[in-house]
């Protein structure tokens, strides 16, 4: 860990996390089993070439059986067994799951839901993040673990907590929220103005009158709701920082992380969380059993890499199951392997899983695991061994380039948690439009076109991107609007899609045409937003279509590039373009269907000079990703399609060990990783079309 690299997406630099090998393994909870099973576990880990486990995520009740009394003997034993086998470990602080004694001794430290119900122990994540007793107990156990294991040579890093995200609406939260608001607004006049409390007689005359957005008779004040989300993220971050400092005080220098989560967990403002971590880690679970899961994997990876500004750690995935709604679908072994390589292609230094062994009981006993119930000699364990061997062959890809990003993306998508939280406030023109789906649909279009994409922090240096996309950033500050303008004037091509820039950072809507924050930059404005009914579509020039949201737009200082062909706005502008400085700004004020978005954004990328990683690969169902290493590039080819393809390139395929120079056939579902000289290329063609 020597080189420092610039963060292409954010505004910071970080020492890249560069372990000696790709990390393979997962959450290991040995406390559920007798000692004989521990020995079998270690033997199976060696067989599968597991080199990393995560210990202690939910071990608080064993580590501190009574308040202030610690028992680390069992953990010492496990750590010794792992050490003997040469296996490294992340050590978690167990603060996501306080023991029953804690809840009984400190009932005020249990979270309160919006309706005022104080939750009881009996599950996990039962803590009120602002409760002093919880914070003190968290610091104490972090210190105990830091002192005992912080210098262990096999310690790969600290895994603080687990998926921060319990919101609390109780008295401790109310007190801390008020303190946060005082820092933000300094005086009540400013707060009343920002929250527009003149509406519905909500004016606050004293700080103590302000509450978290608890259950109320009708709609909450949206600015209050948004500020509460911001506060909750900051408050959890402060708790994380306290544990981090406690560990640092013990002298431990192992890198610190906490696992962020996708797809639905949206309780944290990830850019500031990433800044506080030595390495960003992500838990990723597919949200569909269908083919869109591959696009979702890429989406999670590109977010994690961008938040990190470099390599990152995939901390959890499911080895065998895909949970969707009320049932679990099987994840085929070849998909498990392709997904694992997909994470690594996009910058992960690991393929880690939740969890090592299928649970003995408890709430997640049916969750998939690396070791199935049928055991290590079953057919179900064979793909795990196969993956372990494959990752060992791929190990050289962990090296991090010191001359640029790990994935060289020229398209950026602006991302901020405020956008997600803002669109969750109710009574917008169309509440069915969500930030996560708008951003994901945009990323999906780039993924389908095979174009590498980063996510971009508002205000960061975006000059490396030829195309900057701004989906559904409903609320933004004037600084963000100015930053977007500077990007365009500096020569970039900016594409703003609805509903972006309608409200300021306090969710106030400026007077005049929409979008108030961006209309001068766009050179067009609308005086009316029309929601379309579910299933209703409008046709737009160029074979495009819109659904859900359209606007009556007048172009004042922009050219109309596409108009509505039918519907109530027939003849009106749907897409405009304005020249700004040496760049341009495109505004799409109709919500495009996915097909239309794919066609339109692929055209924009082409025009901006941002092409696919491997020309023609996507059309054959092959996801191609170039991961840059210290000396070579690695072209990852993940074949999600149905028919075999032939790959040719100037280098060896590290998966099969064969030279790709003469062409190698890749069966449906298979993967190849071709090491090519820096900037070298591969060609992918349908196998039956290549002359042999
Ligand atoms: C999360 C948690 C794990 C486990 C898995 C189940 O990622 O961190 O403890 O609950 O989900 O999918």
Q: Structurally, how many domains does the chain consist of?
A: 3
Is the same domain home to 106 and 241?
Answer: yes
Give SS3 for 452: coil
Is the same domain home to 622 and 588?
Answer: no
Q: Check pocket membership of 316 for ligand 1, CB cut-off 6 A.
A: yes
Q: Note the helical H segments in 467-616.
A: 478-489, 519-522, 594-608
Write out the H or E segment, with its range, that includes residue 53: strand 52-55
Is the same domain home to 553 and 654?
Answer: no
* pLDDT at residue number 264: 74
Q: Check pocket membership of 163 for ligand 1, CB cut-off 6 A.
A: yes
Q: Check pocket membership of 162 for ligand 1, CB cut-off 6 A.
A: yes
Task: Show which residues are catalytic.
Answer: 163, 316
**Does residue 201 fall inside a structural domain?**
no
Do 82 and 105 form a contact (C-beta atoms < 8 A)?
A: no
Is the same domain home to 443 and 355?
Answer: no
Burial class from Cβ neighbours inside 10 Å (0-12, 13-18, 19+) for residue 3 reads middle
Is the same domain home to 418 and 478?
Answer: yes
**Does residue 179 fall inside a structural domain?**
no
**Does residue 199 fall inside a structural domain?**
no
pLDDT digits (tens, 9 = 90+) for 421-479: 999 999 999 999 999 999 999 999 999 999 999 999 999 999 999 999 999 999 999 99
Query: 589 CA distance to ligand 1 centroid (A)?
Result: 38
pLDDT(365) > 90:
yes
Is the same domain home to 290 and 312?
Answer: yes
Is the same domain home to 599 and 661?
Answer: no
**Does residue 216 fall inside a structural domain?**
no
Kindly give the interhelix angle for 222-249 and 171-185, rounded to the nearest 10 degrees.
Answer: 100
Q: Check pocket membership of 124 for ligand 1, CB cut-off 6 A.
A: no
Rounded distance between C-alpha atoms, residue 155 and residue 257, angstroms: 13
Do 301 and 342 form a contact (C-beta atoms < 8 A)?
A: yes
Residue 636 belongs to domain with CATH number: 2.60.40.1180
**Does residue 469 fall inside a structural domain?**
yes
163, 315, 355, 358: residue to mutate for ligand 1 pocket, most atoms within 8 A of CB: 163
Sign of the CA dihedral with 165 first, then 262, 459, and 348 last: positive
Least confident of 151-160, 258-267, 276-285: 258-267
pLDDT grade for 525, boundaries at 50, 70 and 90: very high
Mean pLDDT, residues 575-582: 98
pLDDT(2) > 80:
no
* pLDDT at residue number 447: 98
Listed in sequence order, the residues at least 6 apart from 431 whose beta carbon sits closer than 8 Å to its beta carbon are none
**Does residue 214 fall inside a structural domain?**
no
Q: What is the DSSP string of 136-191?
A: HHHHHHHHHHHHHHTT-TTEEEEEESSS------SHHHHHHHHHHHHHHHSSHHHH
Q: Which atom of ligand 1 is nearest to the CA of 261?
A: 7
Domain housing 35: 23-172+236-398
Is the same domain home to 646 and 672?
Answer: yes
Whose C-alpha lies nearest to ligand 1, atom 7?
A: 283
Write out the H or E segment, with its range, that includes residue 559: strand 559-563
Sign of the CA dihedral with 524 first, then 527, 532, and 536 last: negative
Q: Which atom of ligand 1 is nearest to the CA of 58?
A: 9
Q: Which atom of ligand 1 is nearest to the CA of 283?
A: 7
How high does pLDDT run on average in the chain?
96
Whose C-alpha lies nearest to ligand 1, atom 4?
A: 354
Do 446 and 453 form a contact (C-beta atoms < 8 A)?
A: yes
Mean pLDDT, residues 183-192: 98
Query: 261 CA distance to ligand 1 centroid (A)?
Result: 9
State which of 608, 640, 668 marks the end of a domain.
608
pLDDT digits (tens, 9 = 90+) for 630-680: 999 999 999 999 999 999 999 999 999 999 999 999 999 999 999 999 999
Of 688 and 36, the one with more pLDDT? 36
Listed in sequence order, the residues at least 6 apart from 273 whose beta carbon sits closer than 8 Å to its beta carbon are 233, 237, 240, 258, 260, 307
Q: Check pocket membership of 294 for ligand 1, CB cut-off 6 A.
A: no
Backbone phi and psi for residue 292, each to the nearest 5 degrees, phi listed first: -65, -15
CA distances to 612, 648, 668 from 687, rounded to whole Å, are: 20, 11, 11
């Amino acid at each position: 860990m020597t080189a420092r690299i610039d963060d292409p997406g954010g505004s910071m630099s970080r020492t890249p996390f560069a372990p000696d090998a790709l990390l393979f393994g997962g959450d290991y909870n040995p406390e559920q089993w007798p000692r004989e099973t521990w020995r079998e576990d270690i033997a199976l880990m060696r067989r599968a070439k597991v080199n990393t486990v995560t210990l202690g995520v939910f071990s608080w009740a064993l580590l501190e059986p009574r308040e202030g009394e610690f028992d680390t003997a069992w953990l010492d034993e496990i750590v010794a067994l792992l050490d003997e086998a040469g296996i490294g470990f992340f050590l978690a602080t167990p603060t996501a799951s306080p023991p029953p004694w804690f809840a009984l001794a400190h009932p005020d430290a249990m979270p309160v839901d919006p309706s005022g119900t104080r939750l009881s122990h009996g599950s996990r994540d039962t803590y009120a993040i602002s409760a002093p007793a919880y914070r003190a107990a968290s610091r104490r156990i972090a210190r105990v673990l830091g002192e005992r294991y912080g210098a262990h040579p096999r310690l790969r890093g600290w895994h603080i907590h687990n998926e921060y995200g319990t919101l609390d609406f109780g008295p401790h939260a109310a007190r801390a929220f008020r303190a946060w608001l005082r820092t933000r607004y300094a005086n009540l006049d400013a707060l009343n103005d920002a929250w527009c409390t003149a509406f519905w007689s909500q004016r606050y005359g004293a700080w103590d009158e302000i509450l978290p957005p608890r259950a109320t008779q009708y709609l909450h004040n949206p600015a209050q709701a948004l500020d509460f989300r911001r506060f909750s993220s900051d408050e959890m971050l402060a708790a994380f920082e306290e544990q981090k400092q406690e560990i640092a005080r013990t002298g431990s220098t192992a890198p610190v992380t906490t696992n962020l989560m996708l797809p639905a967990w949206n309780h944290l403002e990830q850019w500031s969380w990433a800044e506080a971590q030595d390495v960003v880690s992500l838990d990723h679970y597919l949200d569909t059993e269908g083919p869109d899961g591959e696009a979702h994997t890429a989406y999670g990876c590109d977010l994690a890499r961008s938040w990190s500004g470099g390599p990152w750690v995939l901390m959890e995935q499911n080895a065998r199951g895909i949970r969707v709604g009320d049932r679990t679908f099987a994840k085929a072994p070849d998909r498990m392997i392709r997904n694992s390589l997909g994470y690594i292609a996009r910058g992960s230094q690991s393929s880690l899983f939740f969890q090592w062994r299928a649970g003995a009981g408890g709430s997640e006993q049916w969750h998939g695991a690396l070791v199935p119930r049928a055991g290590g000699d079953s057919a179900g364990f064979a793909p795990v061994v196969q993956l372990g061997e494959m990752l060992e062959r791929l190990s050289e890809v962990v090296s991090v380039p010191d001359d640029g990003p790990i994935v060289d993306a020229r398209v950026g998508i602006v991302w901020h948690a405020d956008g997600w939280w803002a669109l969750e406030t109710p009574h917008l023109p169309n509440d069915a439009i969500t930030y996560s789906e708008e951003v994901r649909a945009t990323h999906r279009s780039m993924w389908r076109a095979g174009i590498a994409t980063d996510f971009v922090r508002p205000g960061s240096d975006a000059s490396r991107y030829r195309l900057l996309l701004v989906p559904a950033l409903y609320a933004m500050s004037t600084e963000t609007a100015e930053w977007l303008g500077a990007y365009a004037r500096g020569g970039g091509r900016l594409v703003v899609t609805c509903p972006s820039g309608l409200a300021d950072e306090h969710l106030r809507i400026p007077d005049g045409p929409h979008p108030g924050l961006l209309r001068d930059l766009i050179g067009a404005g609308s005086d009316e937003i029309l929601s379309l009914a579910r299933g209703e579509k409008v046709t737009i020039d160029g074979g495009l279509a819109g659904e859900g949201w359209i606007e009556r737009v007048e172009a004042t200082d922009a050219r109309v590039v596409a108009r509505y062909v039918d519907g109530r706005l027939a003849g009106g502008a749907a897409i405009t373009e304005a020249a700004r400085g040496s760049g341009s700004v495109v505004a799409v004020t109709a919500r495009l269907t996915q097909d239309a978005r794919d066609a339109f954004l692929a055209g924009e990328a082409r025009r901006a000079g941002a092409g696919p990683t491997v020309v023609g690969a996507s059309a054959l169902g092959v996801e191609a990703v170039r991961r840059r290493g210290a000396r070579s590039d690695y072209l990852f080819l993940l074949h999600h399609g149905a028919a075999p393809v032939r790959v040719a390139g100037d280098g060896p395929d590290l998966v099969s060990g064969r030279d790709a120079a003469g062409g190698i056939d890749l069966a449906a579902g298979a993967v190849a990783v071709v090491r090519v000289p820096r900037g070298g290329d591969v060609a992918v063609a349908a196998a039956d079309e290549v002359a042999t």
